[in-house]
Amino acid sequence: MENFIVSARKYRPTQFDSVVGQSHITTTLKNAIKSNHLAQAFLFCGPRGVGKTTCARILAKTINCENIGTDGEACGACPSCTSFQENTSLTIHELDAASNNSVEDIRNLIDQVRYPPQRGRYKIYIIDEVHMLSSAAFNAFLKTLEEPPSYAIFILATTEKHKILPTILSRCQIFDFNRIQWKDMASHLASIAAKENIQAEPAALELISIKADGGLRDALSMFDLNVTFSTDNALRHKDVLENLHILDSDYYLQITDYMTDQNHVGALVLLDEIMRKGFDGQQFISGFMEHLRNLLFAKDPQTLALMEISDESRAKFKQQSEKTNTSFLLSAMNICSQCETNYKAAKNPRLHLELCLLKINYLPSVFQPATEGGGGKKAEPQAKAAGAKTTDQAPAPVEIPKTPVLEPIPPVEAVAEPVIPTPVATEPVPSHKPTAGFAGLRSTKKVVDAKGTETNVEDAVAIRNDPAKNKAFTVESLTELWQKIAAEFQEANLINKFVMMNRPIELIDSIIHIKVENEVQIQQFNENVRLEVLGKIREGLQNYSVDIALDLMISEKSDKKMLYTQSDKYDFLVQKHPILSEMKQKLGLDHEY
């Protein structure tokens, strides 16, 4: 039996032109060789399987080639190239920093650098996974890396550039390798399949390339695996799906159609089929969320080009995206994201996943696409009665009963006030009177009743017009009730309410007038006391037309001004001590706090 060589080694590039997907680096290296502008140290960075070590080996071989071509490629036939290909070269050394990461290993390397090469112009050292070196090994390597002999060149390769000391990075010429595009990988796999006489379906190669996620070595490993899986030396799309345990995109397309049609039964049956095939629920919801993201991208040609899928799949996404709106896709992605976050913590993950699909299933009924007339979808006509005959004649127009016109509620001011016997008035009734019983209005539809709650204006008007619910009262009964309410506030230790109640009152035509000194007291009374006191008085007097009015006192005889705010106090003190104004300006003080 012949020894099997994996494709990653068998078809490893030996020239710069055969490197896949890194033309920006190979072109730079070939130009540097042709112009003899070689750096003393190179650093190749990038993800796994993109060709860092391969390019390092090609660069080392080409530098020492005795017959370099005009295109900057090694001849592959000179003694230096032959010895390198046979792994017998004495001028090119490869070191694995993962297993040789100590200071002693670096010291041995430095000792070898002192001796010039026996054949060739340069002595080249390739150090792979250089980020695995310890800090002490890096520091021991600094001096040699900065000032190496004229015949020594170092090529470092790493997948984790951030772990390398900045002092090392500053001494190297850095090359960043990119992830390989899936189209380039699919083309490379097709060429290998042709050389191996393998009948490979293009869809199968595209699936392997997309699954590799930019790593050609991973793609070649999956290629060998699937070729071994087939018995007739053929590579089929369905076999790749089964072997790599990938959920086909057709499942996502089908379940999305069920969602848009609000067919939750079909969606749940398809989910059961997916779960019976051994796919994990979290894997499904993650793939479904990515599918919804692709549908969102497919709505615009610019974002459609960003999708790393084949042209056939791109056409399918474009067709299905026309059936869904953006609101549906965004809401569905949000539901899937919440499901994915809470999936592992759920006691019944299957039920959690089914609930997610049911939520998405009824989204189309929420987001109805707008019609040209400006409205949403028209409501479905009701089902015809059983046995009704269908004819070609147009149905008779159905008369829609008109909505009865309600009589407008009369304004509050227009309601006549009831006559209530009151004691001899101390002052004449003013021409402009506040509307009794409705000063506590919070809105045009609500009014405060006797218990301090809100009632409708219609009910309040009915109560006010009913003489049986508005009993006469005297000033003595009102004063007694007022003092009783104040005593309750004092007993409950409600100082702010008690202070506002401890003021002289005056009754004028069922309106209780309270004297206050400033606008602040009016605001405090309206916010903290008014509703509660008004409700207690109306209930105690059994009169619902009673109201409270606040009168601002303006005393012309007294020149004494009450100081309530910080500004008033500051102005008063400045009048007595003018130096305060000067101190405020110099020290940058402020009387407000």
- 509 in Cβ contact with 478 (< 8 Å): no
Per-residue pLDDT of the chain (593 residues; tens, 9 = 90+): 457 788 888 888 888 888 888 888 999 998 888 888 888 899 999 988 888 999 999 999 898 888 888 888 888 888 888 888 888 888 888 888 888 888 888 898 888 888 888 877 888 999 998 999 888 888 888 888 888 888 899 999 999 989 888 888 988 999 999 888 888 888 899 998 888 888 888 888 888 888 888 888 888 988 888 888 877 778 888 888 888 888 888 888 899 999 888 888 998 999 998 888 888 888 889 889 989 998 888 888 888 877 777 777 888 888 888 888 888 889 999 999 988 888 888 888 889 898 999 999 888 877 654 444 444 444 443 333 334 444 444 444 444 344 344 344 344 443 344 444 444 444 444 444 444 444 443 333 444 444 444 555 455 555 655 666 677 777 778 888 878 888 877 777 666 666 667 677 777 777 888 877 777 777 777 766 777 787 788 777 777 777 888 777 765 444 556 666 777 788 888 888 888 888 888 777 776 64
User: Pick from 192, 182, 183: which is nearest to 227 by CA?
Assistant: 192
Sequence-distant (≥ 6) Cβ neighbours of residue 12 within 8 angstroms: 54
Distance CA 170, CA 354 (A): 55
CATH architecture group of domain 249-361 = Up-down Bundle (1.20)
Distance CA 177, CA 22 (A): 7
Instruction: Return the domain boundaries, the chain.
Output: 7-176, 182-244, 249-361, 412-552, 563-593
Give, as one character, the DSSP assignment of residue 380.
P
468-to-449, 450, 460, 541, 543 alpha-carbon distances in Å: 16, 15, 14, 13, 9
Helices 202-212 and 237-244: crossing angle, nearest 10°? 30
Q: Compute, in degrees rounded to 10, the torsion defined by CA atoms 84, 87, 91, 92.
A: 90
Correct CATH for 182-244 of 3.30.43.10, 1.10.8.60, 3.40.800.20, 2.40.50.110: 1.10.8.60
CATH architecture group of domain 7-176 = 3-Layer(aba) Sandwich (3.40)
- For residue 392 the two structure tokens come to 């070609």
How many Cβ atoms from other residues are within 10 Å of residue 427's Cβ?
8
What DSSP assignment string belongs to 106-173? Answer: HHHHHHHHTSPPSSSS-EEEEEESGGGS-HHHHHHHHHHHHS--TTEEEEEEES-GGGS-HHHHTTSE
- 489 in Cβ contact with 498 (< 8 Å): yes
Q: Give the per-residue pLDDT at 515.
A: 77
- 75 in Cβ contact with 187 (< 8 Å): no
Distance CA 425, CA 244 (A): 99
CA 115 to chain centre: 59
Burial class (CB in 10 A: 0-12, 13-18, 19+), 118: exposed
Residue with tokens 């391969």: 54
- 501 in Cβ contact with 486 (< 8 Å): yes
453-to-178, 535, 540, 558, 566 alpha-carbon distances in Å: 72, 8, 15, 41, 37
- 117 in Cβ contact with 91 (< 8 Å): yes
Q: Give the per-residue pLDDT at 439.
A: 40
pTM of the shown model: 0.56
Question: What letters, b where the CB count within 10 A reaches 16 and e where it falls short, cover 102-112?
Answer: ebebbeebeee
- For residue 379 the two structure tokens come to 């409501």
Strand partners, 43: 156, 174
